[in-house]
Structure 1
Amino acid sequence: MKTRWYQEPMAWLVFFLPFSAVVAGITTFIIANTDPDDLVVGDYYKKGKAINLEFGKVKQAEKLGIRFGLRFKDNELVIKPTGIEKKFPVLNVNFYHPTLAEHDFSLILTPDGNGFFRSQLENDVRGKWKITITPFENHWKIQNTISLPQSEFIDIYPKPNEAN
């Protein structure tokens, strides 16, 4: 007695393998297009020119001897100037997550009576972060990679190799 093709197990195996490859390909295509990588830069030339400008700002901070102490404990950020005795009216502080751009945030801080810059953050910030500190005029820049939280003050100072 002859069996029909759809009653043969080998026929289903022959159809299943290419069908599963098509489904996997479509799934991969959907994932690649709905969750793009934030770390990819479109115009490398412009990015390279911007990096060279950033190196100049880091070297300027190094030349001026600008240093800070940073502490982040119980969701309170405290930054105290430890380098030169110059007063800063405003500091721009940017936090960049290494892989998730939606977690990046910026703060504009003014000094308190002791000359410390303080901010109480609503979100719990933990893990590795790249932090940049610039003045209002944006003529120097300090950029370091830090791990949070920090219960003691850590030194934040210009590191030319981290200017990108």
Structure 2
Amino acid sequence: MKDSWYREPWAWLVFILPFTAVVAGISTYIIANTNPDPLVVGDYYKKGKAINLEVGKVKMAQKLGLRFALQLDGNELIIKPTGIEKVFPLLNVNFAHPTLAEQDFYLALTPDGNGHFRHQFEQPVGGKWKITLTSFEGHWKIQDTVGLPQKNFIDFIPDPIKAQ
């Protein structure tokens, strides 16, 4: 008398392997569609043109000879122009957190009597930040990634490689 097929271990092995692959494929599809990656850009051409525009702004800062020094000691931020005599009516300062976009913030600073830009934070600002300095008109840009706080002044120099 012959045994039934479901009592044979080799039959279960033949059925379970393809079934596992189907379940894994469906799971992967569901995960990919319910948790999309926010860093993926749909139109790469437009993004590339925007990067070229940003590099152009950094090159403009180089051409103008712009340099700044930044210090964040305690809760006081000080940004001072170095190497140039030009006075800026307003300086845009963007702080971008590398991983948490909800912590990003923006400051519009006006110079004091010495031409330095100051801001007093209510709470300490610490950690790694991508800081971008731009003119009021947006014609030039300088950016760098720094660890805060900084007790000593650090130089902000236009670098096209950091603009990307």
TM-score bin (small chain)? 0.7 to 0.9
Does the 8 Å contact 1:111/1:118 carry over to 2?
no
Q: Determine if the alignment matches structure 1 residue 95 to structure 2 residue 95.
A: yes
- Work out whether residues 90 and 108 of structure 1, in 8 Å CA contact, stay in contact via their aligned partners in 2: no
TM superposition shift of 1:107:
0.9
Q: Deviation at 1:134? A: 0.8
* Change beyond 3 A, Cα 1:112–1:7: farther
Tell me the distance in 1 between the aligned counterparts of 2:155 and 2:17: 58
Identity level (%): 57
* 1:73-100 alpha-carbon deviations (Å, 9 max, x no partner): 55x46241232243333322223445x4
Q: Which residue is equivalent to 1:118? A: 119
Q: So what's the TM-score if we normalise by structure 1?
A: 0.75
CA distance in 2, matches of 1:125, 1:4: 69
1:10-49 CA distance string (max 9 Å, x none):
3332222222212221222222223333333222222222
Number of equivalenced pairs: 161
- Corresponding residue for 1:25? 25
CA contact (8 A) 1:94 1:106 kept: yes
Q: Secondary structure at the match of 1:70?
A: strand
Name the aligned partner's letter for residue 120 of structure 1: F
Aligned residue for 1:153, secondary structure, equals strand
> Counterpart of 1:106?
105
Q: Report if the CA contact (8 A) 2:90-2:111 is conserved.
A: no
Instruction: Name which one, 1 or 2, has greater alpha-carbon Rg.
Output: 2
Aligned to 2:152: 152
Do structure 1's residue 82 and structure 2's residue 81 form an aligned pair? yes
List runs of 5+ in structure 1 lacking aligned partners: none
Which portions of structure 1, spanning 4 or more consecutive aligned residues, are displaced by more than 6 angstroms? none
